[in-house]
Amino acid sequence: MAISLETPKKFAQIVNQAHQVSTEIFRPISRKYDQAEHEYPKELDTLAALIDGMNDGGEGGTGARGVRRDEAKDKPGNKNGSNMSSVLSIMEACWGDVALVLSMPRQGLGDAAIASVANDEQLQRFGGLWASMAITEPGFGSDSSAVSTTAVRDGDDYVINGEKIYVTAGGRSNAVVVWATLDKSKGRAAIKSFVVPKDTPGCRVERLEHKLGIRASDTATIIFEDCRVPKENMLGDPDVNDDTGQGFAGAMQTFDNTRPLVAGMAVGCARAALDEIEDLLREAGVEVDYDRPSYAQPAAAAAYLQLEADWEAAYLLTLESTWMADNRKANSLQASMAKAKAGRVGVEITTKCVELAGSLGYSENSLLEKWARDSKILDIFEGTQQIQQLIIARRLLGKSSGELK
């Protein structure tokens, strides 16, 4: 089945709207909230309400989507659905500002996890929540199976104890999807996710991190001390021998949709830097000529052409992995390839554009230095560059996580 590389006509409007949001809302306040770290961008409330309406109407938004691969799996034809609309719009939104996109209410990874593994009753009950995802702990980073936060059954409740770090939007969200183990000795099968409202006794935000980039987005440490939640707040099946895909594997499958989104963020941010440096080069009298070989052009123009070629590769890998998700095809390999490529070249492109712009690129008179700082996180969160390469190697070689570490 062929993949068309043209923007689907039905998404043209939402992509154009995302570009307008970047131009008219994100860019004008980008520097303000970069400097005012941890101050909530109130301008996002109206925009979030608009996106909620678009999501309810089936038009899609800029947030993460669920991975309910059983839906429409038998329907024939080439489908461009909510994943593609989200990735295309998030590229345009991150052309404006990555941190502001990450600050959008009800558009986060926790919401995607709920959409992926919640049952119908939970989908209804948790609809409208702004949910963060709490996975990482002080004792581990990339190895999600090393969760040590515990959830102990006590009557009709689970009692959660542990500490989670680097929780995106953890200070602002009104709920957290917490990964915890029911029985450490049972390994991955005992790891479950729980929806914990932030006002639950025993759940508290300990601190907010100060960061290199994405400063408009809050990143929190959250402590759980005898935090009691109803058993109905567990996502998926409580059986530690569950093989239905709703336990650890089901939660991990969320990343097959969100990694292309992060790749799209990197693609959008890198595109912003490329557009800016092209304008600056033109102002300096350097024209990029696509009809001449790079060796016959000024060094700056040749460098730009190389950066744009890398950008194009990341863009195409992102589209491929997204299209596969919409068409209910296993895309773990492609999602990791897209995330690895886009994360790496996003950093390289934004950093090189700072270099090409010289002192202007290093100053706050341009957003180039901000994009260079923001882009680094896109190569780290939701699986570092090294973890993506490890996943890719496992898929290509047919090795398990135990066989290839």
Helix/strand/coil percentages in the chain, nearest 5: 50, 15, 35
Query: For residue 65, which of 326, 397, 386, 357 has the smallest C-alpha distance?
Result: 326
Question: Which residues are tagged catalytic?
Answer: 382
Q: Rounded mean pLDDT of 345-353?
A: 98
Residues with Cβ within 8 Å of 358's Cβ and at least 6 positions away in sequence, in order, are none
The pLDDT of residue 8: 85
Residue 184 in 3-state DSSP? helix
Average pLDDT over residues 47-56: 76
Q: What integer best gives the mean pLDDT of the chain?
A: 89
Same topology between domain 9-117 and domain 251-397:
no
Give me the architecture of the 251-397 domain, per CATH.
Answer: Up-down Bundle (1.20)
Chain segment 194-233, per-residue pLDDT in tens: 999 999 999 999 999 999 999 999 999 999 999 999 999 9
Q: What percent of the chain has pLDDT above 70?
A: 90
* Helix 332-357 vs helix 255-283: crossing angle, to nearest 10: 20
**9-117, CATH topology level:** Butyryl-Coa Dehydrogenase, subunit A; domain 1 (1.10.540)
What is the arithmetic mean of pLDDT over 359-367?
96
- DSSP states of 362-386: HSTTSSHHHHHHHHHHTTTTTS-HH
Indicate the pTM of the whole model. 0.91
d(CA 45, CA 47): 5
Identify the pLDDT of residue 245: 46
Which residues are within 8 A (CB) of 15 and not within 5 positions of it... i.e. 6 or more apart?
7, 88, 89, 92
pLDDT per residue as tens digits for the range 390-401: 999 999 999 988
Instruction: Give the three-class secondary structure for 185.
Output: helix
- Go through the chain and tell me how many residues it has: 405
- Give every CB contact of residue 28 below 8 A, 6+ residues apart in sequence: none
Task: Supply the pLDDT for residue 113.
Answer: 83
pLDDT digits (tens, 9 = 90+) for 243-273: 444 556 666 777 888 899 999 999 999 999 9
User: Which CATH code, of 3.40.50.170, 2.30.40.10, 2.40.110.10, 3.30.1120.80, is assigned to 129-244?
Assistant: 2.40.110.10
Q: Under a CB-based contact definition with an 8 Å cutoff, are residues 176 and 235 in contact? A: no
